[in-house]
Amino acid sequence: MEGSAAPDEFQIALDSAISAPEAFGASFDAAPASEELELGLGLEGDPGIAFRRTLGMFATGVTVITTRTREQVHGMTANAFMSVSLRPPLVLVSVDRRARMSNLLHEGTRFGVNVLEAKQATLSDHFAGRAVEGSTEPLFELVHDTPLVEGALAHLVARVVRSYWGGDHSLFLGQVEFARYGEGEPLLFHGGRYERLIRDPRVFSLLPAELLDPILALGEEREYADGEALMRIGEPSGELLLILEGTVSVERPGRSLTLSPGELVGEIEVLDPGGGRIADIHAQGSVRCVAVSRDALLAALEADPRAAVALIEVLAARFRETA
């Protein structure tokens, strides 16, 4: 390709730049010349702060990096974590040179990467050295001689194979020896604050029976044969289904689950039909269900506005969770 270095040349250039940062210019390793950073239109003030805020637009998960030295267990919150290679399995973490963790990691040291779950913001603060009143001490489990934080969404154990100069940070490349993950939602970090994904599709299922039953009573019974599609991703729709008999498989990008009798399908789409179905849903064996059309649903809400108010409360509570 014209103008681009062949991979080998690039590697040599990168290696020499890493071992000799001055290859990038004499001032590269010196204190950051923030006045050299050009700010886009509309951005004023301290360029360093603007740079931080710009980087903060990159949404990440949150990890706690853990390690053990003789009797000491140490953890540090880090969102500058990335996957690097599948074969060999490699990950990278960027650690502030002033952080204690930076002195604990060396080539050959093992470290754990604990991907925090949505409810672990307090743990994140704890390992970032922020005082959290009334928080309980984190619990660790030892795997490959490395402390792993209990309750995290995913765990990795890696051994430092290389470390690199990274300005006021050090970059530690780790070869992964152990990996596992569980079910759940991740804790997110964006714009300097914690965020959460809202992926819970339950709305009607959270209504009390006295408000939900009159709505379902307006539906009509329907049967599906084994493998038949109840809904297809992207298709426009405006129906709420209650499963009476049999089970259905729900396939959404990144997750799949099985729903059983008593569970509802299409809770979001019936309220927002324009966006299309968000999942592929197929019958597993023969399935019997009740289908409530959007028109019937709207008539039921008009007849009893208490159900409409309850739905708004469910949605408001969902937003509160993320605030």
Ligand X SMILES: Cc1cc2nc3c(=O)[nH]c(=O)nc-3n(C[C@H](O)[C@H](O)[C@H](O)COP(=O)(O)O)c2cc1C
Instruction: Note the residues at the interface with ligand X (CB under 6 A).
Output: 62, 76-80, 94-96, 99-101, 124, 128-129, 189
Tell me the closest approach of the beta carbon of residue 212 to ligand X, in angstroms. Answer: 40
Neighbours of 285 (CB within 10 A): 12
CB of 64 to ligand X, least distance (A): 8
- Residue 186 zone, left/alpha/beta (φ > 0; ψ -120 to 50; rest): beta
Q: How far is the CB of 60 from ligand X (least distance, A)?
A: 8
* Strands of the chain, DSSP E: 60-61, 63-69, 72-78, 81-85, 90-96, 110-115, 140-143, 146-149, 154-166, 169-181, 187-190, 193-196, 220-224, 229-231, 239-252, 255-259, 264-265, 280-293
Q: Which is nearer to ligand X, 32 or 273 (CB)?
A: 32
CA 323/CA 303 separation, integer angstroms: 33
User: At closest approach, how far in Å is the CB of 56 from ligand X?
Assistant: 10
DSSP 8-state class, residue 117:
B
Residue closer to ligand X (CB basis): 75 or 219: 75
Identify which of residues 122 and 293 has a Cβ nearer to ligand X in the complex.
Answer: 122
Cβ closer to ligand X: 120 or 124? 124
Q: Tell me which amino acid residue 221 is.
A: E
Residue 151 CB, nearest approach to ligand X (Å): 17
- Closer to ligand X by CB, 111 or 189: give it: 189
